[in-house]
Amino acid sequence: MLAALKASDRAGKHVADLSLVTVPGTVLKVEWKAIPDRDARTTPTRKQLPDTEITRSKKLEGAWWGDGGAYIVSSFSRETDNPGVSKVHDGQIWFYDPKRSTITLKLLFGKNPDPAVDGAFDGPDNVSVSPYGGVILAEDGEGIQHLVGATDSGRTFPVARNDFSDATKNVEFTGPVYSPDGKILFANIQEPGYMFAITGPWRSQE
């Protein structure tokens, strides 16, 4: 079976778009709605259910299973994406808990006012759980791009900065993942195809 997520708030009100949630820690109840024709023989799967039956997001990206659930990335949203429904953000990190049938907003990146200036993060893409607490994110936003750490409390910090500047190539970080012993963080740059092994030293986050 192929199913789509439907989220509702504590009052039972349907949440049409994940961007409407702007306070980290907000918990939504999850239902799963079956897609009538998962093979999309006549209609694309994303168009088979009405907006009243599912919860949308502009740009869902990375997902990673850990801590008994799934971390899910919504990379960005703009009001023009779904007028009257969507709100602006430059990244959300959600956690889906299958035992409780809930999805919780863990982290919110506000609109980056100047992507060319180092220090403000935007456009999270790939995600993995860190053995030292929190998650590691690969930025795929505007301007300067990083590997970003995010603690369970929502604090963010840079792990590495991408200094490649060839505008003709897709130079985003991809696929951050720790070795089984937790000593090495592997990450890639999509083009021209570099792989890095980052050896820390690492320490537990708050």
Percent helix / strand / coil, the chain, rounded to 5: 5, 40, 55
Q: Tell me the pLDDT tens digit for each residue of 58-101.
A: 889 999 999 999 999 999 888 887 777 888 889 999 999 999 99
Of 182, 179, 205, 204, residue with least CA distance to 195 = 179
Residue 153 pLDDT more than 60?
A: yes
- Measured CA to CA, the distance from residue 125 to residue 92 in angstroms comes to 10
Burial (0-12, 13-18, 19+ Cβ within 10 Å), 206: exposed
- Measured CA to CA, the distance from residue 182 to residue 92 in angstroms comes to 26
Of 75, 79, 86, residue with least CA distance to 121 = 75
Residue 201 has what pLDDT? Answer: 87
Q: Region 187-192: what's the mean pLDDT?
A: 87
State the number of CA atoms in the 13 A half-sphere of 185 facing the CB: 25
Residue 167 has what pLDDT? Answer: 54
Of 162, 187, 112, residue with least CA distance to 142 = 112
Residue 165 has what pLDDT? Answer: 63
From residue 109, alpha-carbon distances to 121, 123, 141, 154 in Å are 7, 8, 11, 10
Q: Region 142-146: what's the mean pLDDT?
A: 84
